[in-house]
Amino acid sequence: MHIPDGYLGPATCAALYAGASPFWYVALRRVRRSVHTRLVPLISLLAAFSFVVMMFNIPLPGGTTGHAVGVGLSASVVGPWASVLAISMALVIQAIFFGDGGVTALGANCFNMAVVGSLVAWAVYRLISGGASLSSPRRAVAAGAAGYVAVNAAAFVTALEFGAQPLLYRDASGAPLYCPYAWDVAIPAMMLGHLLVAGIAEFAFSAGVVGFLQRTDPGMLKDAAGLRPAGVLEVQTRSRTLRPLWLVLGLMMLLTPIGILASGTAWGEWAASDFADPAARQQIAAASLGHAPPAGAPHGLAKLSTIWTAPWAGYAPTFLQSPEIGYVLSAMFGVGLVVLLALTVGGLVRVRRHQAAMKAVDA
C-alpha cells in the first residue's frame, strides 16, 4: 500500500499533499490543546508499533504481499487526530530512510493510511464499542473491526489513485506515463488481498493489543472511548505502565525477519527495472488479473522513480551481508528515528502551547 515514486503524476502528488495538510494542521492543534506528559510518549510508542508492524509482509493472493498498518490500534487508544500524527510519522521515516513509499507520494500515503485510515478506524471503533466498559471484550472486537475496515478503506482509496493515472496522464502515443493499470485492474487487484488477508492481520493485531491493554492498563483506552471530558486529560507521567508495550515492541523488532519470508512485491510497488525483467513481468501480470504490463516502464514512472535514493533502501543496509540482521537493525534504527521525531514534534507542540499561554497572560 506504500505508493512508490513514479506511480502518481506530479499534479496528483501535489493534490494529495494539499489534501493531507489540513488534517495534519488540525491534528497538531488538537494534540496541542490536549497534550500532557503521557500523551507524547504514547504517540511515539504507537508510531513505533505502526513502523514495525508494516515490516511484517504477508503473502497475498496473486503472488503479492501486504501488511497491517496499526491504525486500528492507534485510533482506538489515542483517537483519530493523534493517530493521524502517529501513522504519518512512521510513514515519513519509512519513505526518507528506507525507501518504503516514495517522497513524492508521501502526501498520498499519509492521506490514505494516516488520514483516511485513522478517521475510518475511529468511527468504526466508536460505533461498535458504544458505551461498553473499558474491560468489555466488545472493545477489543471493536478495535479489530476498526482496523479491518480502515485498512480496506485505505487500500480502496489507494486503488482509486492508482487507477486514475492512466486516465489523467498519457504520452503522445496514448501510453500511460505513470501507473499503467486503470480502475478495472487496480481496484480488484488491491482489494482482493486486503479483504481476504491483510485486513484480517490488522484485525488480529489491533484486537490483540487492545485486549492486552485491557488486562494491563485499561485507563489507556479512556481518551478514545470518550470517557474523559474534552480537554481534561491525565497530567502525571506513568511511563512504567507503558513498559509492557515497549517490551512487546522489542520482541516484535527481533521477529521482523519473519517479514522477509513472504516472496513477491506488493501490488503497485514494482521497480522500474521490473517492467523489463521477464520473470518480474510474469509476476506483475499474474497479480494484475492476467493483464500484461507495458513492454517497458512508463516514461514518467521511470523518471520519477530515481528522484530519491534512501540510505537503507528495502531495510537492507549495504554494509551487512545478512538480510535478517539488516532487517532487525533497520527495525531498531527506524523505531529510534520514529521516537525521536515524535518527541521532537511533541516538544515543539509544548513550546507553542507555552508561548500561547504566556501571550494570554500578558494580554
Q: How far is CA 163 from the centre of its chain?
A: 20
Taking the CA atoms of the chain, what radius of gyration do you get in angstroms? 20
pLDDT tens, 261-301?
888 899 999 999 999 999 999 999 999 999 999 999 999 99
Adjacent-strand bridge partners of 66: 58
Distance, CA of 359 to CA of 363 (rounded, Å) = 6
Distance, CA of 20 to CA of 15 (rounded, Å) = 9
Count of Cβ atoms closer than 10 Å to residue 208 Cβ: 15
Grid cell, residue 227, equals 470517557
Distance, CA of 178 to CA of 102 (rounded, Å) = 13
pLDDT tens, 225-262?
766 544 434 433 345 578 889 999 999 999 999 999 88
| Residue 221 confidence (pLDDT) above 70 | yes
Mean pLDDT of 94-100: 97
Mean pLDDT for all residues in the chain: 91
151 compared with 34, residue with greater pLDDT: 151
Domain residue ranges in the chain: 10-362
| Residue 11 confidence (pLDDT) above 90 | yes
Q: What is the pLDDT of residue 227?
A: 61
Grid cell, residue 186, equals 487496480
Distance, CA of 191 to CA of 198 (rounded, Å) = 10
pLDDT tens, 124-146?
999 999 989 999 999 999 999 99
Query: CATH topology for 10-362?
Result: Arp2/3 complex 21 kDa subunit ARPC3 (1.10.1760)
CA separation (Å) from 155 to 150, 152, 308? 9, 5, 24
Mean pLDDT of 43-60: 95
Q: What is the pLDDT of residue 37?
A: 53
| Residue 351 confidence (pLDDT) above 80 | no
Distance, CA of 83 to CA of 115 (rounded, Å) = 8
Residues in the chain: 363
| Residue 151 confidence (pLDDT) above 70 | yes
Closest of 355, 346, 354 to residue 38, by C-alpha: 346
Q: What is the pLDDT of residue 349?
A: 73
Distance, CA of 228 to CA of 39 (rounded, Å) = 14
Distance, CA of 285 to CA of 281 (rounded, Å) = 6
Adjacent-strand bridge partners of 58: 66
Q: What is the pLDDT of residue 237?
A: 38
CA dihedral (269, 93, 202, 112) positive or negative: negative
pLDDT tens, 154-174?
999 999 999 999 999 999 999
User: 262-276 b/e with 16+ CB inside 10 Å = b?
Assistant: bebbbbbbbbbebbe
Per DSSP, the three-state class of 176 is strand
Q: What is the pLDDT of residue 35?
A: 60
To the nearest 10°, report the CA torsion of 174, 177, 182, 183.
-140
Q: Report residue 149's pLDDT band, with 50, 70 and 90 as the boundaries.
A: very high
| Residue 313 confidence (pLDDT) above 90 | yes
Q: What is the pLDDT of residue 107?
A: 98
